[in-house]
Amino acid sequence: MSFKRRDVLKAAGAGALAAALPIPLLAQGQTLKFGLAMPMTGSQSAYGKDQVAAAQWAVDDINAKGGVQGRKLEMVVLDTQADPQVGINAVNRLISVEKVPAFVTAWSAVVKAVAPIANREKILELSVGASSPEVAQLGDYVYTTFPLADVDVTAVATYAHDKLGKKNAAVLYINNDTGVDAAKVYKAAFEKAGGKVTVYEAYDPKATDYSGMLLKVRAANPDMVHIHGLITDIPQVLAQMRQLGLQQRVSTYSAGYNPNIVKQLGAAAEGLIVTSLAPGVNDRPQVKEYVERWKQKEGRVPNGLPYTQYLYDAPVMVAQMYDWLLKQKMPATGENMRKALLGVKRFELPMTGVTEVDPSHRVQKPVYLLTVQNGSFVPLATVG
């Protein structure tokens, strides 16, 4: 057998090209990988585990229908504990060991902490649930599929002033990334609407006694109280508020849309206003089926239902991006996943409807306001 010089050069060229590709072009039979970094343990795990379950259902559903052009979607899940340092470790592993071209994560502190890695490594980071407005400014490779706090917090602040006729408000917020940014947004929106924020007070994330702060509220006697904390502290703040005799109507954000709050507070939860950034069971038949599926499989509604809807939709978005890449015959790199995100631009999603990726790294969605009435969350208004 003899080799011609031209054949040898061709083979060498092909080998060099193959070696130059960081991830070879989506070879037949190869799974289409992406990462999911969420809190599976720690104080936020009640949310995190349900969100991971929702994402896994979506992956299973996509694969059951034949995957993406016949290829299976594969989700690699790692724990962040909602802790920035643990999140950094998880994302480093997703990128360097699992070689994913894109990953999904949540919780503002984690999303911010891992953003420099995504930008440096040119790996697409999809923030699904972090609400800090700063998420929109974290770099070229960080996009959110979830409306940021300025969307729902602005809606609830404006609604309190314009529709409920509240003229002054107290804003109580947890002293971390989740609370600080959102509290600023609420204050700005409420004052822009013509109201006045008379108490603006942060509390320590480790606090269990909020009476001092609440006595300031009692002294100022506002019409409305907005609490922007985590699911672990919102019920306690509200309980201690009622115990001190404060009867003002309370609003919070999507974290408050949790049946455990009503269970823990009983009658004290009546009138609580929460936001949801995803359609409810009456707004979309797919959501009704999804909630029924939860009831059948887990015997309950998921913690933070709207968040889980977005997490269900995240793998669907990734699948649509992979579909775009396959059609373009492009290798699965982070840079190309970003191109795919902007190339698809308009995603049809089963649980949250249409999502358009905005060049400003934001998404606009309607805000659904709900209130607790007779121990259940009922629709109050839809804004936007």
* Binding residues for another protein (CB under 8 A): 41-43, 45-46, 175, 198-199, 201-204, 206-213, 215-216, 218-220, 232, 235-236, 239, 242-245, 263-268
User: Residue 30, Cβ neighbours under 10 Å: how many?
Assistant: 14
Q: Going by C-beta distance under 8 Å and a sequence separation of 6 or more, which residues neighbour residue 288?
A: 281, 282
Q: Which is nearer to another protein, 28 or 374 (CB)?
A: 374
- β pairing state of 376-383 and 367-373: antiparallel
| Paired tokens of 191 | 């004052």
Could you give the CA distance from residue 335 to residue 320 in angstroms, rounded to a whole number?
Answer: 16
Could you give the CA distance from residue 305 to residue 233 in angstroms, rounded to a whole number?
Answer: 19
With H, G, I as helix, E, B as strand and everything else as coil, classify residue 127: strand
Could you give the CA distance from residue 234 to residue 265 in angstroms, rounded to a whole number?
Answer: 10
Could you give the CA distance from residue 65 to residue 52 in angstroms, rounded to a whole number?
Answer: 20
Beta carbon of residue 378, minimum distance to another protein (angstroms, whole number):
21
Beta carbon of residue 375, minimum distance to another protein (angstroms, whole number):
12
Beta carbon of residue 28, minimum distance to another protein (angstroms, whole number):
41
Beta carbon of residue 94, minimum distance to another protein (angstroms, whole number):
22
Q: Which is nearer to another protein, 137 or 232 (CB)?
A: 232
Beta carbon of residue 174, minimum distance to another protein (angstroms, whole number):
9
H helical segments located in the chain: 5-20, 45-64, 84-96, 108-121, 149-162, 177-192, 211-220, 234-243, 259-265, 285-298, 305-328, 334-344
Q: Which is nearer to another protein, 119 or 264 (CB)?
A: 264
Q: Which is nearer to another protein, 225 or 268 (CB)?
A: 268
With H, G, I as helix, E, B as strand and everything else as coil, classify residue 346: strand
- β pairing state of 224-228 and 249-251: parallel
Q: Is 17 exposed, middle or buried (0-12, 13-18, 19+ CB in 10 A)?
A: exposed
Do the Cβ atoms of 145 and 172 come closer than 8 Å?
no
Beta carbon of residue 298, minimum distance to another protein (angstroms, whole number):
14
Q: Which is nearer to another protein, 158 or 178 (CB)?
A: 178
Q: Which is nearer to another protein, 190 or 210 (CB)?
A: 210
Beta carbon of residue 223, minimum distance to another protein (angstroms, whole number):
14
Q: Which is nearer to another protein, 93 or 216 (CB)?
A: 216
Q: Which is nearer to another protein, 19 or 219 (CB)?
A: 219
Q: Which is nearer to another protein, 171 or 319 (CB)?
A: 171
Q: Going by C-beta distance under 8 Å and a sequence separation of 6 or more, which residues neighbour residue 100?
A: 33, 34, 35, 76, 94, 123
Beta carbon of residue 318, minimum distance to another protein (angstroms, whole number):
28
Residue 75 CA, chain-centre distance (Å), reads 17
Beta carbon of residue 228, minimum distance to another protein (angstroms, whole number):
13
